[in-house]
Amino acid sequence: MRLKGKVALITGASRGIGREIALRFAGEGATVAVNYRSNKAEADKVVSEIAAAGGRAAAYPADCSKVADIEALAKAVADDFGGTDILVNNAGVFVPMPIEDTTEADWDAQVDLNLKGPFFLVKAVVPAMKAKGGGRIVNITSIAGENGFPNASAYCGSKGGLANLTRALACELAPHRINVNAVAPGNIKTDMNAALRGPGQEAYVQMITERTPGGVPFIDPKDLTGAALFLASDDCRAMHGATLLVDEGWAAW
């Protein structure tokens, strides 16, 4: 087991990518703190599934766009499990719209959760990681942080910021044996983009399919868990500030 004895805090872990990473990490021996914002029932299902498989997990409510909630979350995990060894900044929001229609609230919602939240979560867990002699931080960015997309400028800005934040934090924290890296998903099949895959979106799905070298327009969230596991394990101890693209070849086109 590659994560045996480690405590992993995964934000936005009640569904989608976060859920699959939580299950994968638990299967590799990690104790998992399953963060959720509002869907306690789904978070409890993740915890129950981990427990049924012989693992250890607990659910923690927190809005990861709010610093007070972030600080309380980190403290609760430290009180229960002795601090965080692995942080996965996964919680995010995507609100596609033209710039003319984007309000200040739309901007703030995406930047606060996608960029401000990860910054302050890292700040909250770093003291414990330093005390333990090291740690792993995995930021879930996006191909929208590597490339531009129309009608998604606020989202692209937030994810591009997170990609560069990953590099900056890696430079700062590497001397403390804390590895900061990122996984950049391509188009993933999650609730967040369900509207882009529904009725009336056939032309868009066809365009995505043709634009993706791997020929898979929307990736199963499970296909991201191997990259996240690698960056959370000792196998990545020589990696700092790197981004692993899991995008069916989108960025290579």
Catalytic residues: 155
Helix (H) or strand (E) segment spanning residue 33:
strand 31-36
**Look-up: residue for tokens 């990609």?**
163
Contact 186, 245 (CB under 8 A): yes
Q: Quick check: helix, strand or coil at residue 131? A: helix
CA distance readout (Å), 129 to 16, 39, 122, 241, 249: 27, 29, 10, 17, 34
Contact 166, 180 (CB under 8 A): yes
Give the bridge partners for 219, in sequence order.
188
Give the bridge partners for 8, in sequence order.
32, 86
**Look-up: residue for tokens 């333990």?**
132
Rounded Cα distance, 142 and 57, in Å: 27
Give the single-character DSSP code of 202.
H
